[in-house]
Chain A
Amino acid sequence: MKVLVCISHVPDTTSKINFTADNSAFDKNGVQFVINPYDEFGLTRAIWLKEKKGASVTVLNVGGNETEPTLRKALAIGADNAIRVDAEPSDAFFVAKQIAAVAQEGGYDLIIAGRESIDYNGGQVPGMVAALLNWPFVNACVGMDGEGPEFNFTREIDGGKEKLSASLPLVIGGQKGLVEESDLRIPNMRGIMQARTKPLEVKAAVDAETKTSVGSFSKPAPKSAVKMIDAENVSELVQLLHDEAKVI
């Protein structure tokens, strides 16, 4: 089984978010980048498939060379090889086209992506990839079992869970549950050394349109001041909730 794991290179969750002067782009200055947490669940699941079923694991990123440390980390964790499509990931359609092209060319059976990336939270790419390839798509996947080529999946849906099955080739949009947080792997020193010599191929992008463009970004409004009301004074609380907060 050939598994392709899509790895987004995203700001660490503790980063302070700022935008460039004209608010048209995220300011990367001084920001630490990590493997998108949703992708990390998928990567760990792929490593399990490697260890238990002898799958090969390729990690893929669409981005500039600044994303290579993130791919090296994925290699140190246990992926066999990496591919970077050398292009600015301008929008979801563009990225999905690149992933689909790599998947077709490389003959992969299973694509695991995070259900969304934690930077722009579009949540579109894995679905688009599945559509472009005409493969089944299991989004918000929280469980996977079976011997293949048919697998059973559990999806998180509003108010409950859905069980379904699908056969390879297919696309998974993964999240916590695919593996648990305690299953995530910290690369060890031997893995880091081995990652030095694992192949990291840089590919040119295929032609693809960018279908959306960014207007501007803005931060949420700062929190307004907290009004303290005496615990006994319920009528004032009700009046403020009605007149000022307008929630009742």
Chain B
Amino acid sequence: MASDLFESPDYYQIDDLLSEEHKLVRNATRDWVKKEVSPIIEDYAQRAAFPDQLIKGLAEVGAFGPYIPEEYGGAGLDQISYGLMMQEIERGDSGVRSTCSVQSSLVMFPIYAYGSEEQKRKFLPKLASGEFLGSFGLTEPNFGSNPGGMITNYKDMGDHYVLNGAKMWISNAPFCDVAVVWAKNEEGRIHGLIVERGMEGFTTPETHNKWSLRASATGELVFDNVKVPKENLLPGRSGLGAPLSCLDSARYGIAWGALGAAMDCYDTALRYSKERLQFGKPIAGFQLQQKKLAEMITEITKAQLMVWRLGTLKNEGKATTAQISMAKRNSVEIALKIAREARQMLGGMGITGEYSIMRHMMNLESVVTYEGTHDIHLLITGADITGIQAFK
């Protein structure tokens, strides 16, 4: 694969909206991605192998729980820093970013927000250091966009719970050490349980033959009469709102992350089009190519402003679920369009693994589906502005 020459677009001097610390966070993450991810990622994606050597580096750079307080092993950074990290990591690969999103927003966040002090002390430092890898079990084979219908359940056996059911499309599942699993109690109320590797009856079969997120491991979480100690129940919150709040945090990261993938595709297409000669001049000199590039940078710039504003709202504790939905949907949509246009600009070269574009494009097909599908996010916006739900 060609060396990573990425330069980030900043058409509206959005850097002026960032603090020096934000820029340091972003540049450090970018340097790490260029050093550790870019040289190897194409090979792992082609072989559909998980680059588990990156776990240690992701932990060292601080990509697991950057906004979790330092006393629990995080870095205590703000939400814009978290977003910038996700942007840079997904600029490298959506699969690697997915691993970080799951670890930070779907495993560390619920334990931090809803866990007992004992749970926080037991799990968060090990998740931050990468000693433990986590997964998040919400989606089931028959309950994707409608998670409230889940059938995974647990029964109170006096001194422990017994968990039954199955979760599907779970990032990190095949090698997770802990899983935050959402299941219904006997009254049908959703609670979070921390399930640990090695508990009898807990298995994690891998999902094979994905054409997307090939450098990320996906699988199932299967619970066959798993005995879960009572102290592993997250005591702080119950109901569907609890897992959905985790998704808010993860979707926020995706809004930044998908933009990173878009920037990489744009940057690649821009550089290629200035070098590639046809009819005696660079293809960047032809109107149809300029149209593509001009539309790309316009959409990237709009999305940069959107996620920056969303990050500011999130820092102030004011970002709503619907606002996060809009940004997630927008970033992924523009990223997919940019990836497809950029791929065309590179012609046949865009098909090969010499360039990152087609890998991004295939990855984004997962990103547009997971953490709330493209259509569901539209309906969240629709419900928010009309006051009328149209989900069912």
Tell me whether A69 and B20 are in contact (CB under 8 A).
yes
> For residues 91 through 116 of chain B, which have their beta carbon under 8 Å from a beta carbon of chain A?
none
Tell me whether A188 and B20 are in contact (CB under 8 A).
no
Give the segment of B74-82, B145-153, B299-307, B328-336 that binds chain A.
Answer: B74-82
Given A14-B7, A69-B20 in contact, is the A192-B25 Cβ separation under 8 Å? yes
B: interface residue count bin: 20 to 34
Interface string of B49-80 (1 = CB under 8 A from A): 00000000000111100100010000111000
Determine how close the nearest CB of chain A comes to the CB of B4; give it in whole angstroms.
Answer: 12
Bound Cα distance from A14 to B7, whole angstroms: 9
Given A14-B7, A186-B32 in contact, is the A193-B24 Cβ separation under 8 Å? no
Given A68-B20, A186-B35 in contact, is the A193-B28 Cβ separation under 8 Å? no
Tell me whether A72 and B20 are in contact (CB under 8 A).
yes
**A76 lies within 8 A of chain B by Cβ:** yes
**A190 lies within 8 A of chain B by Cβ:** yes
> What is the number of contacts between chain A and chain B, taking CB atoms within 8 Å?
48
Which residues from chain A contact B66 at a C-beta distance below 8 Å? 189
Q: Which of B7, B28, B32 contacts A192 (CB 8 A)?
A: B28
Q: Which of A14, A68, A76, A196 contacts B28 (CB 8 A)?
A: A76
Q: Which of B7, B20, B75, B85 contacts A193 (CB 8 A)?
A: B75
> For residues 126 through 177 of chain A, which have their beta carbon under 8 Å from a beta carbon of chain B?
none
What DSSP secondary structure best describes chain A's contact surface?
helix
**B189 lies within 8 A of chain A by Cβ:** no
Interface string of A180-220 (1 = CB under 8 A from B): 00000011111011001000000000000000000000000
Which residues from chain B contact A14 at a C-beta distance below 8 Å? 7
Chain A minimum-CB-distance residue to B62: A189
Which residues from chain A contact B63 at a C-beta distance below 8 Å? 189
Interface string of A55-89 (1 = CB under 8 A from B): 00000000000001100110010000000000000
Bound Cα distance from A110 to B62, whole angstroms: 32
Tell me whether A193 and B32 are in contact (CB under 8 A).
no
> For residues 20 through 38 of chain B, which have their beta carbon under 8 Å from a beta carbon of chain A?
20-21, 23-25, 28, 31-32, 35
Bound Cα distance from A69 to B7, whole angstroms: 20
Tell me whether B35 and A196 are in contact (CB under 8 A).
no
Bound Cα distance from A182 to B7, whole angstroms: 22
Determine how close the nearest CB of chain B comes to the CB of A58; give it in whole angstroms.
Answer: 19
Which residues from chain B contact A188 at a C-beta distance below 8 Å? 28, 60-62, 75
Determine how close the nearest CB of chain B comes to the CB of A67; give it in whole angstroms.
Answer: 11
Tell me whether B81 and A189 are in contact (CB under 8 A).
yes
Q: Which of A68, A69, A192 contacts B75 (CB 8 A)?
A: A192
Bound Cα distance from A14 to B27, whole angstroms: 14
Determine how close the nearest CB of chain B comes to the CB of A25; give it in whole angstroms.
Answer: 22
Chain A minimum-CB-distance residue to B20: A69
Tell me whether A190 and B28 are in contact (CB under 8 A).
no
Tell me whether B35 and A190 are in contact (CB under 8 A).
no
Chain B minimum-CB-distance residue to A34: B27
Chain A minimum-CB-distance residue to B36: A186
Chain A minimum-CB-distance residue to B64: A189
Chain A minimum-CB-distance residue to B28: A187
Which residues from chain A contact B21 at a C-beta distance below 8 Å? 72, 192, 196
Tell me whether A190 and B20 are in contact (CB under 8 A).
no
Given A69-B20, A76-B28, A187-B24 in contact, is the A193-B77 Cβ separation under 8 Å? yes
Bound Cα distance from A196 to B85, whole angstroms: 18
Bound Cα distance from A230 to B7, whole angstroms: 39
Bound Cα distance from A188 to B27, whole angstroms: 11
Bound Cα distance from A69 to B24, whole angstroms: 8
Which residues from chain B contact A193 at a C-beta distance below 8 Å? 70, 75-77
Which residues from chain A contact B7 at a C-beta distance below 8 Å? 14
Q: Which of A68, A186, A192, A196 contacts B31 (CB 8 A)?
A: A186
Tell me whether A72 and B75 are in contact (CB under 8 A).
no
Determine how close the nearest CB of chain A comes to the CB of B39; give it in whole angstroms.
Answer: 12
Which residues from chain B contact A72 at a C-beta distance below 8 Å? 20-21, 24
Bound Cα distance from A190 to B21, whole angstroms: 12
Determine how close the nearest CB of chain A comes to the CB of B317; give it in whole angstroms.
Answer: 20
Bound Cα distance from A73 to B70, whole angstroms: 19
Q: Which of A186, A187, A192 contacts B77 (CB 8 A)?
A: A192
Tell me whether A190 and B32 are in contact (CB under 8 A).
no
Which residues from chain B contact A186 at a C-beta distance below 8 Å? 28, 31-32, 35, 61
Tell me whether A190 and B24 are in contact (CB under 8 A).
no
Which residues from chain A contact B20 at a C-beta distance below 8 Å? 68-69, 72
Tell me whether B23 and A190 are in contact (CB under 8 A).
no
Which residues from chain A contact B75 at a C-beta distance below 8 Å? 188-190, 192-193
Bound Cα distance from A68 to B28, whole angstroms: 16
Determine how close the nearest CB of chain A comes to the CB of B12; give it in whole angstroms.
Answer: 13
Mark B residues whose CB is within 8 Å of A.
7, 20-21, 23-25, 28, 31-32, 35, 60-63, 66, 70, 75-77, 81, 85
List the 10 closest A-B pairs by CB distance, nearest first. Answer: A189-B62, A189-B75, A69-B20, A188-B62, A187-B28, A186-B31, A188-B61, A186-B32, A190-B75, A189-B66
Given contacts A186-B31, A189-B28, A189-B77, 5 further A-B contacts (CB under 8 A): A14-B7, A68-B20, A186-B61, A188-B61, A193-B75
Interchain Cβ contacts under 8 Å between A and B, 20 examples: A68-B20, A72-B24, A73-B24, A186-B28, A186-B31, A186-B32, A187-B28, A188-B62, A188-B75, A189-B25, A189-B28, A189-B62, A189-B66, A189-B75, A190-B70, A192-B21, A192-B24, A192-B75, A193-B70, A193-B76
